[in-house]
Amino acid sequence: MSDKARAVIPAASRRGLGIGPEAKLDFELEGDSVRVRLRKAIPSWRAEDGSGSLRCDLPGETGGTDER
């Protein structure tokens, strides 16, 4: 532990977990131990990517296409 309260994660552990310079880590207290987890980034999502589907059960509605 450094004088700035920084801990060093060994290189082999960083490589194994894919921890890089900009990685975000979560720390959890477990009794007298600390669990460190790599915070996984949530992939960005755009409507035009089309993941998921829409359905409309109203009569005369097409549920996703605009036929104006």
Cα–Cα dist 14/21, whole Å: 10
Does the structure show a pLDDT above 90 at 1? Answer: no
Instruction: Write out pLDDT tens, residues 12-62.
Output: 999 998 888 888 899 999 999 999 888 877 666 666 666 566 666 777 755
Alpha-carbon distances, residue 38 vs 25, 34, 43 (angstroms): 5, 13, 15
